[in-house]
Amino acid sequence: MIRGEIRNNQILDLIQKNPGLNFCDIMRITGFKNGVLSYYVKKLEKNNMVHVIRKTGNTRFFPLEINEHESVLLEMLRRPTPCEIILLLENNPEGLSVSQIIQYTKKAQSTISIYLQLLLSRNVTMIKFHSRKKIIVLKDIEHVRTTLQKYNFKPIKKTIQNFNDMFESL
């Protein structure tokens, strides 16, 4: 019984400190096998100790106190390319054109297009026009800055980003 409580607390603490982690991240960090982790996260969810967002092929875990607006941003920050775009826009509050984002990220236009659509649909970014030119800006830059500081987000290494982009596109 004590071992189970330790595992519960370990997973809960990890989710509290790193909201938006997905199942594979938690498995990798804790070293728990798939079945063991599945048992404990189901137990945490059943006991209303965590909030779980399930999407096709991806399950993310959040502390209960995180609202929907913050969980959407955290979900995007946990994904390598959206995180890179958000950090780029946070450092360029006046906004950037799509071609500038492509240039800075060194990613294919199709990749950037997909992720910009995702960020727009999740209300993280918005489009403004400046001299008849489309500019992408963060919708709520202060919310992004507060969240980045609160959870101490750092850019993910390029090789990990490229692998994750390839894996997520499958």
84-107, pLDDT tens digit by residue?
A: 999 999 999 999 999 999 999 999
In this predicted structure, what is the pLDDT of residue 135? 96
d(CA 36, CA 42): 10
Residue 168 within a domain: no
Residue 85 within a domain: yes
27 and 77 inside one domain: no
Range of the domain at 121: 71-157
122-164, pLDDT tens digit by residue?
A: 999 999 998 889 999 999 999 999 988 888 776 544 434 444 4
Helix (H, G, I), strand (E, B) or coil at 108: coil
Residue 125 within a domain: yes
78 and 151 inside one domain: yes
61 and 76 inside one domain: no
Q: How many domains is the chain built from?
A: 2
29-78, pLDDT tens digit by residue?
A: 999 999 999 999 999 999 999 999 888 778 899 999 998 889 999 999 98
In this predicted structure, what is the pLDDT of residue 57? 76
Does the structure show a pLDDT above 90 at 4? no
Please, which pLDDT band fits residue 2 given cuts at 50, 70 and 90? low
88 and 121 inside one domain: yes
